[in-house]
Chain A
Amino acid sequence: MNKTKKPNFTILFFSMILGIFMAGQLKQNIPILTPVTLSSIQATKYEINSVNKEIEDIEKLTMQRTEQLQILEGIALGDEDIIDILDAELENNKIAAGFEEVEGPGIIIRMEDNLAETAFGEEFDFDVIHDIDVLRIINDLRGAGAEAIDINGQRVLSISEIKCGGPIIRVNGKSLGAPFYISAIGDPKLLNAAINAPNTYAYALRTIDQLNIETTIEDHIVVPKYNGRFNFLYAKPLKEGD
């Protein structure tokens, strides 16, 4: 009797130890161990990068906010004059909105129609610069981080139209004729790449349609301010507390 009981209890005891370990394993919530594929590594990499970027942005925002807080504290203590601060802010807003002349490094793009006798194809249409060409190039520049853009002296803002007007294009209601000089302020390397790198739109225009597109990198470009008048007729700010 004694001999038969003992093994059972030993087994019971060790089964309990095993059960405890199993419970520990259950509590781990182990994700299913599938083999890591290259694409999943890539996806995780992108995820990490985007999260890191987010963190950076948030840190920048925190810095900005602390600066603002310091300014406000300065006002509260009477160290700084509120009018000076408001003036500075007005200036900042004007620059951001494009109502101030700005200067800086960037590139100038010269776009001209295909002037060769033997034009591309039979269609005359392929040899001239269209509004859509200018639009796409400006979009490429914006994608490359351009901060201020003008076409033949017309500042391109968020409200600016680029429209076909027969032999000319219309920007900000003004008629512009070829050749078009597009100046953009930003990182000159990036902007240059956005125009000259293979498989960009400008590259296609230059190599296929054989339009004359030349870029020059400049250290000092002046982009004029928007010289129209602009008032919102329909859009009204949504006031808090209304």
Chain B
Amino acid sequence: MFFALIGILIGLIIGLILPFTYNTAYSLYISVAILACLDSIFGGIKANLENKFDTGIFISGFFGNAILAAFLAYVGDRLGVPLYYAAIFTFGGRLFENFASIRRILINRRKAKKEQ
């Protein structure tokens, strides 16, 4: 949790300093991809807390989900169907699920510590 927050902050600073931009036309795809990445990060934190973290699964999920989400948004744009809603609902829902799990694990740990 802590590492992810620090990482996002550092990334934001680097991104704002670097003269790195892309075409505005892609901003929808990128935003959906960001949501997918965020979901992967939360999933990674959760797996880490459960001691089930697997680097391969994490990295493949990070890129795979992002690319799939962006691709869905792109195909939806071409077909005239807002397919990116699928990505938003799935990853948005999972984001909250993951966060709920993380919360539970952390609170349970604290409780366990107090009882000791």
Extra contacts besides A10-B53, A19-B12 (10): CB < 8 Å: A7-B44, A8-B48, A11-B41, A15-B8, A16-B7, A17-B37, A20-B18, A22-B15, A24-B30, A27-B21
Contact, CB under 8 Å: A21 / B30: yes
Given A14-B37, A24-B15, check contact A19 B3 (CB 8 Å): no
Min CB distance B38 to A, Å, is 6
Q: Within the assembled complex, what's the spacing in Å between the Cα atoms of A6 and B8?
A: 18
Selected from A18, A23, A26, the residue in CB contact (under 8 A) with B7 is A18
Question: Interface on A for B, CB 8 Å cutoff?
Answer: 6-28, 30, 33
Within 8 A of A (CB), among B1-51: 3-16, 18, 20-22, 24, 27-28, 30-31, 33-34, 37-38, 40-41, 44-45, 47-48
Selected from B8, B24, B44, the residue in CB contact (under 8 A) with A10 is B44
Chain B residues with CB under 8 A of A24: 15, 20-22, 30
Contact, CB under 8 Å: A11 / B7: yes
Question: Interface on B for A, CB 8 Å cutoff?
Answer: 3-16, 18, 20-22, 24, 27-28, 30-31, 33-34, 37-38, 40-41, 44-45, 47-48, 53, 55, 58-59, 62
Selected from A11, A12, A14, A26, the residue in CB contact (under 8 A) with B16 is A26
Min CB distance A102 to B, Å, is 54
Min CB distance A163 to B, Å, is 61
Q: Within the assembled complex, what's the spacing in Å between the Cα atoms of A199 and B72?
A: 54
Given A11-B4, A24-B20, check contact A18 B55 (CB 8 Å): no
Q: Within the assembled complex, what's the spacing in Å between the Cα atoms of A7 and B11?
A: 18
Given A11-B44, A23-B16, A25-B34, check contact A18 B21 (CB 8 Å): no
Given A10-B58, A21-B33, check contact A15 B21 (CB 8 Å): no
The A/B interface has a contact count, at CB < 8 Å, of: 113
Min CB distance B58 to A, Å, is 6
Selected from B13, B16, B27, B41, the residue in CB contact (under 8 A) with A15 is B41
* Among A12, A15, A23, A25: residue with most chain B CB under 10 A: A15
Q: Within the assembled complex, what's the spacing in Å between the Cα atoms of A26 and B31?
A: 10
Q: Within the assembled complex, what's the spacing in Å between the Cα atoms of A11 and B3?
A: 7
Min CB distance A20 to B, Å, is 4
Contact, CB under 8 Å: A23 / B30: no
Q: Within the assembled complex, what's the spacing in Å between the Cα atoms of A19 and B21?
A: 14
Q: Within the assembled complex, what's the spacing in Å between the Cα atoms of A15 and B33?
A: 13
Q: Which 4 pairs, one residue from A and one from B, show the smallest C-beta to C-beta distance?
A: A19-B11, A23-B15, A15-B7, A16-B11
Chain A residues with CB under 8 A of B28: 33
Contact, CB under 8 Å: A19 / B55: no
Q: Within the assembled complex, what's the spacing in Å between the Cα atoms of A7 and B12?
A: 21
Contact, CB under 8 Å: A17 / B45: no
Q: Within the assembled complex, what's the spacing in Å between the Cα atoms of A11 and B47?
A: 11
* Among B13, B15, B34, B59: residue with most chain A CB under 10 A: B15
Contact, CB under 8 Å: B58 / A14: yes
Chain B residues with CB under 8 A of A15: 3-8, 10-11, 41
